[in-house]
């Protein structure tokens, strides 16, 4: 959401002062770097150890066994241990993936394993049915053919353990090829080495090379059992447990992509500082930084170019599944943008779980990711419309005024949002009784206009015995706990055998004086002196008491003192979801949906503004460090599941700030607290693209920036980009910024913004159809150019193509404008290798290539791909729900070489899950060829309460003007009005024709119609 600036919050003057001191810009001192975190610092030293090539962990090939899930398991033995302590699991998935997992065989403490179904589907993807495994000298080879026909070969090297994966004969990835592997097994308290017969018998444990926490090469022992940062102490009673490994993308790798969420370039820079994954509430984050932000999808994409003269380039990806703090370092051997690319990965705890997505095409990589993690649900149509939000609309009257003002100026929007001020003292699920006395009436009024409502509900729970949600969660024991650390004698410690010297000994230099008279002086006592061999009083080693008491963890957030529920617990998620029931969440109706913010979780007085790592989740007695990056995931999942139960059959909508792998199944995502700066506008293209490559397509950035206020030109440019490139389109603003609803600007600016929003609503059929492809096939809704044009090398590295342009489906290319006209009045646009491109605004045709485009304030460069048919609606109304009965327009952009085009339109009821029955939808494939438009494939049956008609056809790229159009429907011929024709600009002499279709084409006829143009 935001941080408090200049306003009172219910957390007392001391905390308010502390927060106010931190609102100037991002405070780097609050957030750890790799060098400031002990496990990452250890790993950096570990990979620089002498004799790094020496085989430490090796596969025992005789231990190979078939796993219940169809994979293979192997035991791994360390060179300096007597027994094998690690279990390797290898899976070959039919979709085209190889999964590599390491865990302890028998550990002192259970290592956290993500429950089945939370990230990886349960049951997991189908095992490759024809996979074979064969042992050879020093290796085991697993070979299979993916369901897409790719020949995959995974070679498990035995000593040191490594994995080489090839596709279609081309080596694409190598795991542990540089022998960076580290796996710190749990130890007994303060022990140097983990349990093993060799360790127990080691005469000199300090000399053993075992892992990053135990070796003789400048070992950094700081932070093994306890670590300080930012005034907080992190207790580690279970000791070091980090793990890490390297991966190499082999061949000629010009660029790497992905690793959301970071504010950086699309073509990932190779920073000196590793990319960090540790979900945080970062205030006013900065550009071009590997710092952690709000979410984590540790998925790294690579392009691997074919040799000169060939264009069979390959795309593959590497996924690291670990929810603890993680660092990723990108490296090269030599010059940038060429040769192999390396990455090393290290996580604080958990297990090593990595997946190679072999591709070899971008579409197959995306499909493989969703085969592993699950498909995204189909969003409701209204979720793709305009969302209007602000911190905060302060009253029911304020909401009513904003809503009516949109209608007054005929500006479409779909969703009204309320931020935290609508609550009663920041107690979520409540309403401010003074400003929102009749919330049900307010929301019903919005519903009456066929619009929706979204309320913020954050996961920190106000500590107040009068607040029923707090009291119920407390009484059920569902809050995260803190440990009230106590110390105790280590029961495994015993007094050494040589610890038997007294503190005093007889003075060897003393003798009885000759004149000593025992009758007169009494018995002579030999003097004693301090024993130099005395080691002091022996006391057992002190360790943290594992039975130390626990109490509910409390932190500070918007309400003041707050509790934090353990959302990893299914019972807690069930309880949370139940609170959205209409009979519990008073004032809401079935058109009310939810925004989960601050769910990293944000803790104003916590280390790094989040929850301490040594907090305990009661569900499984799991340390927070093990699950940190999934906390927000479990919050929005609980909300989604609650909304799904609230109104069965409805499509839930949840917005989240924090996310993890698999969040696409439950929520929309926005890029957090951005800034009204041109660079934030520009970099949003890269951030959105990285998220969609990471499987998260219902995503967007706050239009206009959250902090500060955009000038009129920036506001216009941001809307122009957002309507074409942001699947989730929301305007949001900080409490202290001026109002920025479209109608608050001057008339010229308002009209430009209005035109952009009307374009968004005309394009909704295209957006919805592309979302169907995302839902069914995993294709990103918007994506970097290389995804569709891998054969065009310019899309791999060219700055304009990579950083400033993005595709909507495979249809529309968008070039963002992130500089004011006074600074640059020309945009350099690259149009990739295709049949050609048509200007979205003028219809002008351009061949592939680079163009300098003169800019105006009225629009940004955007182009339809030649050879496509684009579904639209031209009747823009006040909301998308008001347009569902309006007929469609088909825009046909011909391939000039073939005079042909293809396209799709997907229709359902736009709001329920009825489409899941396999028939309550209409999926139409169109073709225009030889002057005839027809449906080539029709599936399903469109619901009766939505339009499946076409009222107009526009054709671009005709070699000669159209003179006549005829509709054939159900065997009856209809002469249509003469087409309106015009010549379109471009290198070729081409024409456009607009055909008014009367009667309308009824797509419910299936293939029983055709439109002939002569």
Query: In whole angstroms, what is the distance from residue 834 CA to residue 135 CA?
Result: 46
Q: How far is CA 123 from CA 45, 119, 675, 774, in A?
A: 39, 11, 42, 21
Give the helix/strand (H/E) hosting 631: helix 631-646
For 867: left if phi > 0, alpha if psi spans -120 to 50, otherwise beta; the answer is left
DSSP structural state of residue 127:
B
How big is the CA angle at 655 (ends 651 and 659), to the nearest 5 degrees? 115
Among residues 118, 597, 614, 908, the one annotated as catalytic is 597
Token pair for 525: 């006592």
Q: Tell me what percent of the chain is helix, strand and coil, each rounded to the nearest 5.
A: 20, 30, 50
Active site residue 895: no
Q: CA 739, 741, 743, 747 torsion: positive or negative?
A: positive
Q: How far is CA 87 from CA 54, 105, 106, 240, 319, in A?
A: 20, 6, 9, 19, 20
How far from each other are the two terminal CA atoms of the chain, in whole angstroms?
57
Q: CA 133, 134, 136, 138 torsion: positive or negative?
A: positive
- DSSP helix/strand/coil, 624: helix
Angle between helices 631-646 and 570-578 (to 10 degrees): 50
φ, ψ of residue 329 in degrees (nearest 5): -110, 125
Angle between helices 764-777 and 362-373 (to 10 degrees): 70
Which spans in 130-222 are helix H?
Answer: 197-201
Give the helix/strand (H/E) hosting 72: strand 72-78
- Kindly write down the DSSP assignment for every residue of 281-314, as one continuous string: --TT--SS-----SB---EEEEEEBPPTT----E
Q: How far is CA 962 from CA 631, 680, 888, 977, 1014, in A?
A: 60, 46, 21, 12, 6
Among residues 673, 895, 908, 923, the one annotated as catalytic is 673
Query: In whole angstroms, what is the distance from residue 875 CA to residue 882 CA?
Result: 10
Active site residue 490: no
Q: Which of 897, 960, 890, 884 is nearest to 925 (CA)?
A: 890
Q: How many CB atoms within 10 Å of residue 917?
A: 9
φ, ψ of residue 663 in degrees (nearest 5): -60, -20
Query: In whole angstroms, what is the distance from residue 382 CA to residue 399 CA?
Result: 19
Calculate the CA dihedral of residues 542, 544, 549, 550 and round it to 10 degrees. Answer: 160
- DSSP helix/strand/coil, 844: coil
Q: How many CB atoms within 10 Å of residue 624?
A: 25
Q: Which of 475, 636, 614 is nearest to 544 (CA)?
A: 614
Sort 71 into a burial class: Cβ within 10 Å, 0-12 / 13-18 / 19+: buried
Strand-strand pairing, 528-530 and 504-506:
antiparallel
Q: In what order do the strands lie in the sheet with 812-815?
A: 782-783, 805-808, 812-815, 862-865, 837-839, 845-846
How big is the CA angle at 336 (ends 801 and 342), to the nearest 5 degrees? 105
The residue behind tokens 């438009």 is 933
Q: How far is CA 207 from CA 201, 213, 240, 493, in A?
A: 13, 12, 18, 22
DSSP structural state of residue 530:
E
Pair 831, 853: CB distance under 8 Å: no
Pair 731, 709: CB distance under 8 Å: no
Residues with a catalytic annotation lie at 597, 673
């Amino acid at each position: 959401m935001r941080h408090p600036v200049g306003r009172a919050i219910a957390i007392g003057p001391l905390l308010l002062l502390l927060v106010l001191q931190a609102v100037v810009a991002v405070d780097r001192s609050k957030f750890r770097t790799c060098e400031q975190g002990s496990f990452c610092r250890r790993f950096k030293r570990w990979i620089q150890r002498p004799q790094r090539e020496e085989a430490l962990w090796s596969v025992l090939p005789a231990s190979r066994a078939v796993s219940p899930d169809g994979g293979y398991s192997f035991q791994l033995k360390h060179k300096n241990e007597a027994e094998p302590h690690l279990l390797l699991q290898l899976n070959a998935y039919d979709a085209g993936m190889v999964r590599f997992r390491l865990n302890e065989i028998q550990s002192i403490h259970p290592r956290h394993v993500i429950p089945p179904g939370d990230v990886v589907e349960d049951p997991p993807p189908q095992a490759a049915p024809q996979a074979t495994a064969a042992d050879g000298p020093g290796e085991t080879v697993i070979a299979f053919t993916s369901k897409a026909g790719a020949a995959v070969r995974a070679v498990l090297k035995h000593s040191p353990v490594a994995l080489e994966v090839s596709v279609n004969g081309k080596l694409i990835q190598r795991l542990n090829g540089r022998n960076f592997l580290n796996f710190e097994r749990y130890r007994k308290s303060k022990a140097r080495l983990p349990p093993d017969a060799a360790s127990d018998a080691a005469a000199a444990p300090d000399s053993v090379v075992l892992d990053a926490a135990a070796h003789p090469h400048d070992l950094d022992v700081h932070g093994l059992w306890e670590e300080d940062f930012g005034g907080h102490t992190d207790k580690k009673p279970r000791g070091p447990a980090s793990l890490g490994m390297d991966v190499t993308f082999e061949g000629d790798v010009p660029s790497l992509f992905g690793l959301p969420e970071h504010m950086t370039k699309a073509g990932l820079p190779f920073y000196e500082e590793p990319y960090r994954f540790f979900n945080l509430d970062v205030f006013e984050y900065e550009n071009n930084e590997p710092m952690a932000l709000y979410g984590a999808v540790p998925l790294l994409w690579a392009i691997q170019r074919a040799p000169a003269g060939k264009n069979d380039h390959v795309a593959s990806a590497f996924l690291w599944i670990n929810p603890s703090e993680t660092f990723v370092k990108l490296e090269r051997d030599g010059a940038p943008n060429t040769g192999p690319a390396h990455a090393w990965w290290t996580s604080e705890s958990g297990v090593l779980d990595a997946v190679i997505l072999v591709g070899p095409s971008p579409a197959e990589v995306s499909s493989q990711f969703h085969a592993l993690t699950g498909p995204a649900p189909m969003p409701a149509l209204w979720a793709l419309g305009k969302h209007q939000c602000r911190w905060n609309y302060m009253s029911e009257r304020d909401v009513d005024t904003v809503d009516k003002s949109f209608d007054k100026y005929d500006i479409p929007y779909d969703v009204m949002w309320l931020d935290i001020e609508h609550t009663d003292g920041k107690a979520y699920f409540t309403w401010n009784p003074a400003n929102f006395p009749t919330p049900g009436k307010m929301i019903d009024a919005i519903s009456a206009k066929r619009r929706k409502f979204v309320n913020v509900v954050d996961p920190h729970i106000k500590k107040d015995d009068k607040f029923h949600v707090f009291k119920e969660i407390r009484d059920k024991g569902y809050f995260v706990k803190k440990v009230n650390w106590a110390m105790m004698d280590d029961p495994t410690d015993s007094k050494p055998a040589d610890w038997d010297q007294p503190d005093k000994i007889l003075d060897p230099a003393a003798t009885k004086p000759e004149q000593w008279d025992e009758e007169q002086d009494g018995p002579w006592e030999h003097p004693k002196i301090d024993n130099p061999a005395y080691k002091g009083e022996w006391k057992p080693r002190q360790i943290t008491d594992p039975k130390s008491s626990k109490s509910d963890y409390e932190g500070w957030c918007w309400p003041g003192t707050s509790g934090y529920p353990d959302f990893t617990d299914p019972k807690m998620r069930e309880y949370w979801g139940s609170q959205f029931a209409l009979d519990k969440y008073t004032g809401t109706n079935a058109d009310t949906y939810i925004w989960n913010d601050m769910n990293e979780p944000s803790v104003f007085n916590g280390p790094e503004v989040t929850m301490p790592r040594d907090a305990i989740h009661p569900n499984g007695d799991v340390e927070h460090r093990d699950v940190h990056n999934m906390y927000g995931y479990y919050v929005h999942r609980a909300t989604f599941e609650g909304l799904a139960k609230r109104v069965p059959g409805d499509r839930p909508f949840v917005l989240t700030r924090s996310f993890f792998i698999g969040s696409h199944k439950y929520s929309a995502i926005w890029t957090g607290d951005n800034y009204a700066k041109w660079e934030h506008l520009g970099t949003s293209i890269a951030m959105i693209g990285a998220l969609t490559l990471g499987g998260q397509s219902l995503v967007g950035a706050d239009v206009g920036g959250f902090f500060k206020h955009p000038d009129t030109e920036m506001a216009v440019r941001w809307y122009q980009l957002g309507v074409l490139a942001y699947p989730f389109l929301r305007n949001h603003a900080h409490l202290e910024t001026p109002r920025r609803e479209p109608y608050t600007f001057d008339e010229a600016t308002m009209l430009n913004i209005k035109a952009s929003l009307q374009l968004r609503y005309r394009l909704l059929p295209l957006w919805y159809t592309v979302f169907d492809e995302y839902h069914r096939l995993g294709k990103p809704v918007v994506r970097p150019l290389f995804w569709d044009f891998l054969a065009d090398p310019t899309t791999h590295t060219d700055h304009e193509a990579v950083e400033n342009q993005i595709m909507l489906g495979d249809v529309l290319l968008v070039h963002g404008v992130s500089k004011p006209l006074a600074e640059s009045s020309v945009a350099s646009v690259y149009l990739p290798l295709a049949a050609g491109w048509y200007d979205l605004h003028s219809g002008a045709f351009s061949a592939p290539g680079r163009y300098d485009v003169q800019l105006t304030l009225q629009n940004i460069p955007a182009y339809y791909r030649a050879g496509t048919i684009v579904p639209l609606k031209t009747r823009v109304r006040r909301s998308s729900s008001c347009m569902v009965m309006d007929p469609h327009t088909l825009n046909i952009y011909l391939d000039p070489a073939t005079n042909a085009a293809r396209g799709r339109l997907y229709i359902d009821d736009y709001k329920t899950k009825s489409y899941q029955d396999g028939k309550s939808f209409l999926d139409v494939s169109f073709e225009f060829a030889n002057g005839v438009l027809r449906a080539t494939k029709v599936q399903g049956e469109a619901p009766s309460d939505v339009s499946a008609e076409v009222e107009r056809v526009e054709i671009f790229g005709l070699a000669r003007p159209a003179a006549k159009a005829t509709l054939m429907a159900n065997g009856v011929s209809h002469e249509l009005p003469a087409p309106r024709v015009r010549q379109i600009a471009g290198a070729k002499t081409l024409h456009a024709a607009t055909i008014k279709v009367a009667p309308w084409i009824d797509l419910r006829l299936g293939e029983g119609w055709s439109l002939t143009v002569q």
